[in-house]
Amino acid sequence: MTQAVMARHAGEPRKERSGLRPGQRVFVWGSLIPIFLYLGVFALFPMVWVVVLSFFNYSPVRVGDGPLGLGGRNPFIGLDNFAAMFADTRAGQIFRISVKNTLIFAFLVLVVNLAITLPLAVLVESVHNRVKGLFRAIYFLPTVSSAVAVAIMWGYVYHPQQGLLNNFIKLIGLTPPKAWLTDPSAFVFGVPLAMIAVIIAYVWMDFGYNLVIFIAALQGIPHELRDAAHIDGATGWSEFFHITIPLLRPTLLLVCTLTMISSFQVFVIFQVMTGGGPQNQTRSLTMEIYENAFRYQAMGWAASMSLVLFAMVLIVTLVQFRILRTDWEY
């Protein structure tokens, strides 16, 4: 051991470049080889396999004669799965509806979420330190709660007769909708009412994340900047739009990306609250993938749809990198 230490000291400048001593080699590769063998099976293989599956008409209930159950009765069909996405069939239509729903959901969630969290973060940041922590802790509470329990809870909140929301609306003298989650003919600005209801429940559940991130970012803004703005005569509003928002740009970008990407993947709240109904108005892409893969066992078709989900996530991520690279504010 001491010899190894001596050797290392003798070869100090070399060590940085050319890597490991024998003892270290055993430790590093002894640890990394199992970890990456594992990742090869549970991370790399699934990534490759989902692409392969998307070129097959594969179902696990049929036995193919090739490797891993492919071939034979699970035939290679080229790009047919992707062509089916644009075809005028029932499956193609529902797929397109689910993509549209997912995009509407993600976009509206982002807008509503930012409209709430950004001003709320400024307000929380402005109050006394002692209550600030309390507000933040309670606002964050829904995000740690079980999504299933929250979805069941909101299903009851939206109950047409017994629900909290409709009775509150009646209490303040307005006419509530006759059903929040099951009426296919109810729209608000062209968006199905059931979708609006799911968006409200989801934003309620999720806004704590962005709020906490924004509060942390606001605390990072140097006080000198605000003081300088005050001396120049900036009011609350102009301070918000000309000092706070520009300085929050990197955070804002991160938050937008994370919110978009996680909204693309929402499953529980749709599945439990509406089951995709009424008339597929709240069917999301992840629900569509889940149902085709595990209820109808159409895994080739579902694999090609999950590649579309991946493409959506990838596009948002790349756009973020692009903006970050071209747009250094400070």
Footprint (CB under 8 A) of another protein, residues 126-165: 126-127, 135-142, 144-149, 152-154, 156-157, 159, 161-162, 164
Q: Please select the residue that binds another protein; options are 7, 11, 100, 167, rule is CB under 8 A.
A: 167
Write the CA distances from 197 to 67, 100, 201, integer angstroms: 46, 17, 6
Residue 72 CA to residue 78 CA, distance in Å, equals 14
Is residue 136 classed exposed, middle or buried when 0-12, 13-18 and 19+ CB atoms within 10 A define those classes? middle
Q: Which is nearer to another protein, 162 or 185 (CB)?
A: 162
Residue 251 CA to residue 156 CA, distance in Å, equals 35
Residue 26 CA to residue 80 CA, distance in Å, equals 49
Name residues contacting another protein, limited to 77-96 (CB under 8 A): none
Name residues contacting another protein, limited to 263-282 (CB under 8 A): 264-265, 267-268, 271-272
Q: Which is nearer to another protein, 73 or 159 (CB)?
A: 159
Is residue 56 classed exposed, middle or buried when 0-12, 13-18 and 19+ CB atoms within 10 A define those classes? buried
Q: Which is nearer to another protein, 139 or 186 (CB)?
A: 139
Stretch that binds another protein, among 74-82, 88-96, 181-189, 303-311 (CB under 8 A): 303-311
Interface map 186-225 toward another protein (x if CB under 8 A): ------------------x----x--xx-xx---------
Q: Which is nearer to another protein, 96 or 230 (CB)?
A: 230
Q: How far is the CB of 156 from another protein (least distance, A)?
A: 6
Q: Does 124 bind another protein (CB under 8 A)?
A: yes
Do the beta carbons of residue 223 and residue 272 sit within 8 Å? no
Q: Does 234 bind another protein (CB under 8 A)?
A: yes
Partners of 191 in the β-ladder: 188
Q: Does 231 bind another protein (CB under 8 A)?
A: yes
Q: Please select the residue that binds another protein; options are 97, 194, 198, 289, rule is CB under 8 A.
A: 289
Residue 218 CA to residue 127 CA, distance in Å, equals 13
Q: Does 290 bind another protein (CB under 8 A)?
A: yes
Q: Which is nearer to another protein, 49 or 241 (CB)?
A: 49
Contacts of 159 (CB under 8 A, 6+ apart): 166
Q: Does 120 bind another protein (CB under 8 A)?
A: yes
Q: Does 99 bind another protein (CB under 8 A)?
A: no
Name residues contacting another protein, limited to 27-66 (CB under 8 A): 27-28, 31-32, 35-36, 38-39, 41-47, 49-50, 53, 60
3-state secondary structure of 188: strand
Q: Does 302 bind another protein (CB under 8 A)?
A: yes
Do the beta carbons of residue 194 and residue 158 sit within 8 Å? no
- Give residue for tokens 């250094």: 328
Q: Please select the residue that binds another protein; options are 261, 319, 323, 324, rule is CB under 8 A.
A: 261
Tokens of 67: 């490797």
Q: Does 68 bind another protein (CB under 8 A)?
A: yes
Sign (positive or negative) of CA dihedral 98, 104, 106, 112: negative
